[in-house]
A and B are shown apart, each in its own frame.
Chain A
Amino acid sequence: MSERDVILEVEDVHKSFGGLAAVAGATFDVERSSITALIGPNGAGKTTLFHVVSGFYKPDHGAVRLDGERIDGSPTHRIVRRGLVRTFQLTKALTRMSVLDNMLVAAPAQPGERMWRVFATPGAVKRREEEVHERALELLSLVGLERLADDYAAVLSGGQRKLLEFARALMTEPSLVMLDEPMAGVNPSLGVELLEHMRELQRERGTTFLLIEHDIDVVMTVSERVVVMSSGAVIADGPPDDVRRNEAVIDAYLGSPHAHEEVHEIAGESSS
């Protein structure tokens, strides 16, 4: 086996809420500069796992490593500064701020975020603001929101908020981006552009993506690797073509509410 360059390791993570084991023994890793999909039926524990990895929850058991160093139990903001950023399934657009301010607030290394620097080094604050402004507009135009830059984010539709969150996450200059259902509610043609942009960032900057996605077509076309969760545990992990034929995966989906459609999609027997 060739040497694998791993950016994220999730090792035997458990997380329960009262009696309910939302994540129960999840183990997998993510290779640097890859696009990896995390799939599984509703309630499988994918979002909870994201919360654990991004520092919102402390795992009951297990370890999470970023670039080989433990990050489980670290506060979220420190994890972000180490280059791991995530988006939310239920979007968290800052609706009382402009779309542009949503982007600017995400920029790292702005000296003006320290109170004393606002007064002591206004020049440095302004310079950084200009740099960041340029990048923000670039990313906004990429997701088709540049015309709404000065509007309050409250005016955005659900799909637009997903796009804003995607662009905003990129503002943090991440090395690993974790996206929780980034395509949900997004206009399909923009969704395709989004995927293209992910590939471009992967190629040009070596950015790693880990995405939770329900659209099997998207998963199969964009990702190099698929991790499947069911009832809190990782039940399969491998290239898309292997995973879609995996017995355990098909069984897991049979137990879910949309079992029939999803099994057909997974097995590639699409009805359309």
Chain B
Amino acid sequence: MTGLANVQFWAFVGVVAGIFTIFSLGLQVQFGFAGLLNFGHVAFMAIGAYTMAILVVKTGLSLWIASLIAIAVSMGFGLLLGLPTLRLRADYLAITTIAFGEIVRYLALNEQELTGGPQGTINLEGAGAAARYNDEWLDFQRTVQGWLEVLLGDNATRDVTMLVIVWTVALVAIVLLQILVRSPWGRVLRSIREDEDAASALGKNVFSYRLQALALGAALGAVAGLFFAFQFSFFSPNDFEPLTTFFAYVIVILGGTAKNWGVPLGALIFGFIFAGTRFLDVWPLNTFDSAERAYLRLIIVGLILIGLMAFRPQGILGKREELVVE
């Protein structure tokens, strides 16, 4: 593969960035708007992907219904985490989510009957059955590809089609969130983020808003999980390491906390680093083997974060005024 000029490579970068945009928007709602520290966001992605795959493969449910149920299940888990913790102090949520993220991954590893265990969804119910959700998705993708061919001709490859689908969903999510942030609902959330006592003294039900933010973020995490499943066909518990949550924080902070358009920007930069270090075969990257490149990725992410904190602590699109420390 010869790097930068390769369309496949860019399409892959774009799809990864799109999935991470949707995933990080979920964290944006929770952390950026509501000030909730969720350190187990990756679990919502895992729940979304696994619920859909298990339902389609084991019960023969249609992909679309299974996907909707997967989103609902993920939201249900969000509420389950929030109900006991958010009435106390916001940091109890943080502690609980750290554990939650790992519990979900360990369950996926150990409940072989249900999840396929360490080998992942390929082991769900024999190799043939595992392809069911992929087939249904590919059917849909081919339909969209047909429409795109009218516009793009031969350029409408599978990868480009996936790119268009993922980014359509990502952009719709951004626009809807943008409307929400600017609405009175978003205003209440901002007031809670800054000072929950002030918000409740003005008649706002702080607990309810936090739960809503948690559930909405969980839904977006699940949608990202669905696309992850469609893009990579088979997945395993290893795809849902805690590091993925950390990447979402990097993206949100990179773009500017509480700035919706910062998320795709951060995700594109991140997607490039993520995919770039994996694929680019140019000097000096070709002097490292792939395991070393994975570390290199983290080092680059770290350097970018340090640079950003030094020169633009509010993120690329953030406003400095909203960063004031009293």
Contact = CB atoms under 8 A, between A and B. Distances in A.
Nearest to A152: B321
B179 interface: yes
Contacts of B200: 75-77, 80
Contacts of B326: 95, 154
B202 A96 contact: no
B202 A80 contact: yes
Given A95-B326, A101-B190, 5 more contacts: A75-B205, A77-B200, A88-B198, A92-B197, A97-B194
A97 B183 contact: no
28 contacts: A54-B201, A77-B203, A77-B204, A77-B205, A80-B202, A80-B203, A85-B203, A87-B201, A88-B201, A93-B198, A94-B191, A94-B198, A95-B194, A95-B324, A95-B326, A97-B187, A97-B194, A104-B184, A105-B184, A105-B190, A106-B202, A106-B203, A113-B185, A115-B185, A115-B216, A152-B324, A168-B202, A172-B202
A104 B203 CA distance: 12
Given A77-B206, A86-B201, A115-B185, A154 B321 contact: yes
Interface of B: 176, 179-180, 183-185, 187-188, 190-191, 194-195, 197-206, 212, 216, 321-322, 324, 326
B192 to A, nearest CB: 10
A108 interface: yes
Contacts of A105: 184, 187-188, 190-191, 199, 202, 204
A112 interface: yes
A114 B324 CA distance: 29
Contacts of A85: 201-203
A125 interface: yes
Given A80-B203, A108-B203, A115 B194 contact: no
A96 B206 contact: no
Given A97-B191, A113-B184, A113-B188, A118 B203 contact: no
Interface string A117-141: 0110000010001000000000000
Contacts of A246: none
A110 interface: yes
A115 B212 contact: yes
B184 A110 contact: yes
B195 A114 contact: no
**Chain A to chain B: the 3 pairs with minimum beta-carbon distance, closest first:** A80-B203, A112-B184, A92-B198
A105 B202 CA distance: 8
A28 interface: no
A142 to B, nearest CB: 18
Q: Among the interface residues B200, B202, B322, B324, which one has the most CB atoms of the partner chain A within 10 A? A: B202
A265 B143 CA distance: 85
Contact of B322 (A56, A96, A119): A96
